[in-house]
Amino acid sequence: MNILFFLGHIIGILPISTVLLFLLARLVSRHRCAQDGHGRGVLITGCDSGFGHQLARCLDKKGFVVFAGCLSPEGAGAQCLAAQSSSNLKILKLDVTSDEEVQRAKKMVQENLPEKGLWAVVNNAGVSDWAEIEWSTTEDFRSMLDVNLFGCIRTSIAFLPLVRAAKGRMVYVSSIFAFFNCLNMGAYSVSKRGLEAFADCLRVEMASFGVKVSIIQPGNFGRATNILKAKTASDIWEKLDDERKKIFNRQYMELANDYFTSTCQAGFKDTDLVIDSMVHAIVSAQPKGRYLLVSAVDMFFFRLFPFLPTALTDAVFSLSSMYAKRKEMLYAK
Ligand SMILES: NC(=O)c1ccc[n+]([C@@H]2O[C@H](COP(=O)([O-])OP(=O)(O)OC[C@H]3O[C@@H](n4cnc5c(N)ncnc54)[C@H](OP(=O)(O)O)[C@@H]3O)[C@@H](O)[C@H]2O)c1
């Protein structure tokens, strides 16, 4: 009787202990930092300002050998980065739209590789703009994609052999606009959705080489970086031809501009959330495939959004007051 009671006890406890042990193992491996910076190189693009600039400083403090790609090495951003960092941080001129500059940067990285090689590439350089698709030209799309999409593809193909040798990390800075389709963000969304498709395919291919690929999806950090370039309603209006001026009236341009400016003012004031996630993607033993970085209040909405039927995701905009005002103003004098 006692033996039966004892066996029953063991059988009852076994599944619970297995689950607890599993959870504990996951917790331990999640918090185990696989990599310290010592002897490891990281290339970051777009370090003149914003996330790239802050990440470069942070990784330099953690002991990584940082190759900080800057569009303007003589500019204030790059100079300030060099002045505030250790001698381990190297500024390189890197316009990601130029094959020649990417190859030159690769040569420079190869010549200065630390003992444990190039551990990570952070594809961060990016530009942003807003306009309705009908206000845009093919060239507007091309120039956006050249930096945000082809810039990352060009850099990745060049540096992958080095990262593969180190069984390291590839990190891509995307945006919530990769999946959140809204008014005025057509070109930016195309560039970021394309970027995520590239990174997702790469993750599958690189898994067998031990390289991990992460996507960072920041929400609105417009106040914390230089991503928002000043633009007026006149800038947009002057670009339109007569035919389009008859459809989208001037008053609506003002409204759209005010709306965009005020929305951007509501974002995060600092970059901490993004930098912490980038660091996790680089040093953690178990980096995530995606880091969605929005406020706690918005998290449920943005997690759900990609899974909603198209009619519902479209309705988020078509039922908004802004959309109603836009509809009233179309064709108006
Ligand atoms: N801030 C946000 O709210 C937000 C949200 C979602 C995603 N993101 C993404 O985050 C990334 C970093 O942007 P950020 O917000 O930190 O803005 P940022 O301060 O403007 O930083 C972007 C950096 O990329 C550089 N850059 C532009 N064109 C380049 C090129 N052809 N080659 C190399 N570098 C180039 C910029 O140089 P210059 O300063 O000289 O132009 C700048 O240093 C971008 O990919 C952006 O799309 C930002």
- Report whether pLDDT(244) > 60: yes
DSSP 3-state of 211:
coil
Question: pLDDT for 134-143, tens place per residue?
Answer: 999 999 999 9
- Report whether pLDDT(31) > 90: no
Q: Which of 172, 188, 252, 291 is catalytic?
A: 188
pTM summary value: 0.91
Kindly state whether residues 212 and 121 are assigned to the same domain. Answer: yes
Kindly state whether residues 193 and 150 are assigned to the same domain. Answer: yes
Contacts of residue 110, Cβ cutoff 8 Å, sequence gap at least 6: 162
CA distance 15 to 12: 7
3-state helix, strand and coil shares in percent for the chain, rounded to the nearest 5? 55, 10, 30
Kindly state whether residues 202 and 254 are assigned to the same domain. Answer: yes
Kindly state whether residues 19 and 116 are assigned to the same domain. Answer: no
What does the pLDDT read at residue 264? 83
Protein residues with CB under 6 Å of any ligand 1 atom: 45-46, 48-52, 71-72, 94-97, 124-128, 147, 151, 173, 175, 218, 220-222, 225-227
Higher pLDDT, 27 or 114: 114
CA distance 117 to 65: 10
Kindly state whether residues 155 and 277 are assigned to the same domain. Answer: yes
First to last CA, the chain: 92
Determine the atom of ligand 1 nearest the C-alpha atom of 221.
Answer: 3
What does the pLDDT read at residue 58? 98
Phi/psi of residue 68, nearest 5 degrees = -95, 105
Kindly state whether residues 22 and 45 are assigned to the same domain. Answer: no
Average pLDDT estimate for 143-148:
98
Kindly state whether residues 12 and 152 are assigned to the same domain. Answer: no
- Report whether pLDDT(213) > 80: yes
Q: Where are the beta strands (DSSP E) in 142-284?
A: 169-173, 212-218
- Report whether pLDDT(296) > 80: yes
Q: Are 214 and 121 in contact (CB under 8 A)?
A: no
What does the pLDDT read at residue 260? 86
Kindly state whether residues 78 and 193 are assigned to the same domain. Answer: yes
From ligand 1's centre to the CA of 228, what distance in Å?
A: 9
Residue with token string 């190189």: 41
Could you tell me which of 143, 137, 148, 198 has the C-alpha nearest to residue 170? 198
Orientation angle between helical segments 186-207 and 150-165, nearest 10 degrees: 20
Kindly state whether residues 26 and 70 are assigned to the same domain. Answer: no
Question: pLDDT for 70-102, tens place per residue?
Answer: 999 999 999 999 999 999 999 999 999 999 999
Q: What is the mean pLDDT of the chain?
A: 92
pLDDT band at 229 (very low <50, low <70, confident <90, very high): confident
Determine the atom of ligand 1 nearest the C-alpha atom of 176.
Answer: 6
| Six-digit token string for 94 | 């890197």
Specify burial of residue 204 (Cβ count, 10 A radius: 0-12, 13-18, 19+).
Answer: exposed
What does the pLDDT read at residue 230? 83
DSSP 3-state of 288:
coil
Determine the atom of ligand 1 nearest the C-alpha atom of 220.
Answer: 3
Kindly state whether residues 119 and 92 are assigned to the same domain. Answer: yes
DSSP track, 116-155: T-EEEEEE-------B-GGG--HHHHHHHHHHHTHHHHHH
Average pLDDT estimate for 299-306:
96
Site to probe by mutation for ligand 1, drawn from 227, 294, 295 as the one with most ligand atoms within 8 Å of Cβ, is 227
Helix-then-strand count for the chain, H and E: 14, 7
Question: pLDDT for 154-186, tens place per residue?
Answer: 999 999 999 999 999 999 999 999 999 988 999
CA distance 257 to 239: 15
CATH number at residue 168: 3.40.50.720
Kindly state whether residues 27 and 92 are assigned to the same domain. Answer: no
Number of folded domains that form the chain: 2
323 is catalytic: no
Q: Where are the beta strands (DSSP E) in the chain?
A: 41-44, 65-70, 90-93, 118-123, 169-173, 212-218, 290-293
CA distance 142 to 144: 5
From ligand 1's centre to the CA of 53, what distance in Å?
A: 10
Question: pLDDT for 185-196, tens place per residue?
Answer: 999 999 999 999
Q: Which of 14-18, 65-69, 111-115 has the least mean pLDDT?
A: 14-18
From ligand 1's centre to the CA of 126, what distance in Å?
A: 4
Using only C-alpha atoms, the chain has a radius of gyration, in whole angstroms, of: 24
Kindly state whether residues 175 and 293 are assigned to the same domain. Answer: yes
Average pLDDT estimate for 100-119:
98
Q: Which domain holds residue 217?
A: 39-329
What does the pLDDT read at residue 8? 61
- For atom 47 of ligand 1, the residue with the nearest CA is 126
Q: Which of 11-25, 82-96, 109-123, 253-267 has the least mean pLDDT?
A: 11-25
From ligand 1's centre to the CA of 76, what distance in Å?
A: 15
